[in-house]
Amino acid sequence: VQLQAFGGGWVPAGGSLRVSCAASGLTVSSYNMGWFRQAPGKEREFVAAIRWAGDNTYYGDSVKGRFTISRDNTENTVSLQMNVLKPEDTADYYCAADFHRGLWPQTQRDAYDLWGQGTQVTVSS
């Protein structure tokens, strides 16, 4: 059972990037899925989540209106489309699964049970 994040890279400020998370051994449509990020020297922070039913999404204040979380049930992936990127968006981005379908929206990292490795996003000014 694992999550594999990919798609990170370098992008100039104002640009766009899409990161995705491929799941194996679990079905993303069965769980609440989230994206977090961690910049050097900072705490891991909540970015976005999509409810297991696919009927609701939630975003952190710093990315609201710029980022979009989505899910592809056929490919069993969860993606984060990031637009109007800013240098402060530079971080390692992590996907995570909440197996308990607990509180919604769930923004606390301790509530997530499975984490993928990070994919690095660098936004240059």
Nearest to 124 by CA among 93, 87, 88, 82: 87
pLDDT string in tens for the chain (125-residue length): 999 999 999 999 999 999 999 999 999 999 999 999 999 999 999 999 999 999 999 999 999 999 999 999 999 999 999 999 999 999 999 999 999 977 899 999 999 999 999 999 999 99
- What is the pLDDT at residue 102? 74
